[in-house]
C-alpha cells in the first residue's frame, strides 16, 4: 500500500494553519530539548545540532505554511523568494553539517564542508545583491513570523472570527475604499466575509502589519555597495587567511574584524535604510562583541574568566550546578561551533 505523503502534508498544513501558537510551542520545546541534551553523552554535539537545526527548519516550514494561508509573500519576485529560502535553509543547517562531517570524516571533511557552504552562500548573496538589487543581506534571510501579532491580524478580521477569503492577497486586493462624495469608508466585495456571517462593521487592520507588499530593499551603489560586498566576502577571506597563517593566529582574527568594522563604517553613512535594514545594521554592530569569544582572544583571555564566573555561581547558588556544570563542560564545543569569525 503506497503512502500518500501529499495527504499527510495537507493534514499537517491544516493543523498548523488552525493552530499556529500550538505549533510554535512544539518548535520551542524542540529548541529547548537541544539545550537540555547538550553535553549529556558522547555523541551529544551531533544530536544537539540535529535537534537544534530541526527546530529551526520546522519553524521555517510552519512559517511558510502560515504565510501562504495569510497571503503574506516573502518577496514579489519568485526567484528572489526561492534564493532567500535556500540561503535560510543553509544558515539553519550549516553547523549540523559541519559537526556531522567532522565526526564522520574528520578535520579535512569538516573544513571542506565549511568551504563549500560558504562558497555557495557567497555566490547566492552576490547574485541577490548585484542582479536582483536586494541590498543588505539579512540574517536569517527570511525572518521568523511573530505569530501572536501577525497571524491573527492578517488572517482574521478584528471583531469577526471568519478568515479572509482564500483569494485574498495583500498585494492585489483592496479591503476598503472611500466614497468620493460622502467620504464614507466602505468594505470591498472581495474582502467581505461569507453572507451568513457578514456584519456591517469594517475590518480593523493594524497599519503596522498590513502592507501592500514587502518593503523594497534599499539599492546600494558606490561605497555602500563596497561595504556590503566586504561583509559577504569576509567569511571566505577569513578562511583563506586561516589556511595561510593558521587557525589560532592573530592575523585572521584582525583581518576579519577589520573587514567587519570597515563594512559597518561605510554602511552607517547611508541614512535612508528602512526599519528592517537599520535593525540588521544594529545586529552586525552588536555581533562585533562576539570577537571576545573567538579564537585566539577566547583562548588567551576570555575562556578562564567565563569558566571561573560559572563555577563560582554553581558553588554559591544551590541547585544551579545541575545546569551550569554540563554547560561548563560543553563551552569548548559551543565556542568551536558558534563563535567562528566567519559566522554571522
Q: What is the mean pLDDT of residues 267-296?
A: 92
> Residue 296 — φ and ψ, nearest 5°?
-90, 0
Q: How confident is the model at residue 193, as a pLDDT?
A: 55
Q: How far is CA 307 from the centre of its chain?
A: 29
Cell digits for 82? Answer: 526561492
Q: What angle do CA 232, 258, 216 make, to 5 degrees?
A: 35
Residue 336 predicted with pLDDT over 90: no
Residue 108 predicted with pLDDT over 70: yes
What would the pLDDT profile of 113-126 be if each residue is shown by its tens digit?
Answer: 999 999 999 999 99
Q: What percent of the chain has pLDDT over 70?
A: 77
> Residue 139 — φ and ψ, nearest 5°?
-125, 110
Separation of first and last alpha carbons in the chain: 46
Which of the four pLDDT bands, split at 50, 70 and 90, describes residue 71? confident
Using CA atoms, how far residue 96 sits from 61, 64, 114, 138, 238, in Å, is 18, 22, 11, 21, 21
Which positions ≥6 away from 161 have C-beta within 8 Å?
A: 197
Which of the four pLDDT bands, split at 50, 70 and 90, describes residue 36? confident
Lookup result for grid cell 592575523: 251
Going by the DSSP 8-state scheme, the letter that residue 204 receives in this structure is B
Going by the DSSP 8-state scheme, the letter that residue 178 receives in this structure is E
Whether the CB-CB separation of 109 and 102 falls below 8 Å is answered with: yes
What would the pLDDT profile of 10-30 be if each residue is shown by its tens digit?
Answer: 999 888 888 888 888 999 999
Q: What angle do CA 59, 139, 31 make, to 5 degrees?
A: 35
Beta-sheet strands, E only, within the chain: 176-178, 185-187
Using CA atoms, how far residue 124 sits from 78, 86, 137, 140, 233, in Å, is 15, 9, 10, 14, 12
Count other Cβ atoms within 10 Å, centred on residue 330. Answer: 18
Q: How confident is the model at residue 68, as a pLDDT?
A: 86
> Residue 156 — φ and ψ, nearest 5°?
-130, 150
What would the pLDDT profile of 311-326 be if each residue is shown by its tens digit?
Answer: 888 888 887 777 777 7
Tell me the range of 67-81, 248-262, 298-312 where mean pLDDT is highest: 248-262
Cell digits for 320? Answer: 544551579
Whether the CB-CB separation of 143 and 60 falls below 8 Å is answered with: no
With CA atoms as reference, report the closest residue to 234 among 288, 273, 279, 272.
288
Which positions ≥6 away from 119 have C-beta within 8 Å?
A: 236
Q: How confident is the model at residue 73, as a pLDDT?
A: 81
Residue 208 predicted with pLDDT over 60: no
What would the pLDDT profile of 212-261 be if each residue is shown by its tens digit?
Answer: 345 678 899 999 999 999 999 999 999 999 999 988 899 999 999 999 99
The mean predicted confidence, pLDDT, of the chain is 81
3-class SS at 292?
helix
Residue 35 predicted with pLDDT over 70: yes
Q: How confident is the model at residue 267, as a pLDDT?
A: 95
What would the pLDDT profile of 132-179 be if each residue is shown by its tens digit?
Answer: 999 999 989 998 888 777 766 544 533 344 444 444 444 444 555 566
Which of the four pLDDT bands, split at 50, 70 and 90, describes residue 85? very high
Lookup result for grid cell 575562556: 303
Q: What is the mean pLDDT of residues 272-291?
A: 92
Lookup result for grid cell 560559572: 310
3-class SS at 123?
helix
158 vs 183, more confident = 183
Amino acid at each position: 500500500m503506497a503512502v500518500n505523503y501529499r495527504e499527510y502534508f495537507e493534514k499537517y498544513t491544516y493543523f498548523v494553519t488552525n493552530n499556529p501558537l500550538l505549533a510554535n510551542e512544539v518548535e520551542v520545546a524542540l529548541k529547548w530539548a537541544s539545550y537540555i541534551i547538550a553535553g549529556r553523552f558522547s555523541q551529544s554535539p551531533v544530536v544537539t545540532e540535529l535537534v537544534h537545526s530541526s527546530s529551526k527548519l520546522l519553524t521555517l516550514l510552519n512559517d511558510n505554511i502560515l504565510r501562504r494561508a495569510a497571503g503574506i509573500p516573502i518577496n514579489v519576485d519568485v526567484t528572489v523568494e526561492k534564493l532567500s529560502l535556500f540561503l535560510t535553509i543553509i544558515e539553519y543547517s550549516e553547523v549540523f553539517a559541519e559537526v556531522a562531517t567532522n565526526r564522520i570524516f574528520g578535520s579535512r571533511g569538516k573544513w571542506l564542508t565549511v568551504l563549500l557552504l560558504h562558497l555557495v552562500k557567497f555566490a547566492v548573496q552576490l547574485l541577490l545583491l548585484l542582479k536582483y538589487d536586494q541590498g543588505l543581506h539579512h540574517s536569517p534571510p527570511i525572518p521568523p513570523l511573530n505569530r501572536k501579532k501577525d497571524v491573527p491580524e492578517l488572517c482574521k478580521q478584528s471583531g469577526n472570527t471568519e478568515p479572509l477569503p482564500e483569494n485574498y492577497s495583500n498585494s492585489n486586493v483592496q479591503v476598503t475604499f472611500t466614497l468620493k462624495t460622502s467620504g464614507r469608508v466602505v468594505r470591498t466585495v472581495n474582502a467581505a466575509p461569507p453572507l451568513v456571517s457578514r456584519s456591517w462593521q469594517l475590518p480593523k487592520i493594524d497599519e503596522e502589519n498590513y502592507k501592500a507588499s514587502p518593503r523594497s530593499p534599499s539599492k546600494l551603489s558606490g561605497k555602500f555597495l563596497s561595504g556590503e560586498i566586504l561583509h559577504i566576502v569576509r567569511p571566505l577571506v577569513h578562511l583563506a587567511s586561516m589556511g595561510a597563517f593558521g587557525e589560532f593566529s592573530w592575523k585572521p582574527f584582525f583581518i576579519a574584524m577589520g573587514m567587519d568594522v570597515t563594512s559597518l563604517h561605510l554602511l552607517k553613512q547611508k541614512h535612508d535604510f528602512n526599519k528592517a535594514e537599520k535593525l540588521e545594521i544594529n545586529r552586525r554592530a552588536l555581533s562585533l562583541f562576539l570577537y571576545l569569544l573567538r579564537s585566539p582572544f577566547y583562548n588567551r583571555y576570555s575562556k578562564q574568566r567565563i569558566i571561573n564566573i560559572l563555577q563560582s555561581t554553581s558553588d554559591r547558588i544551590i541547585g544551579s550546578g545541575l545546569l551550569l556544570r554540563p554547560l561548563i563542560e560543553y563551552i569548548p564545543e559551543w565556542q568551536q561551533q558558534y563563535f567562528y569569525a566567519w559566522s554571522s
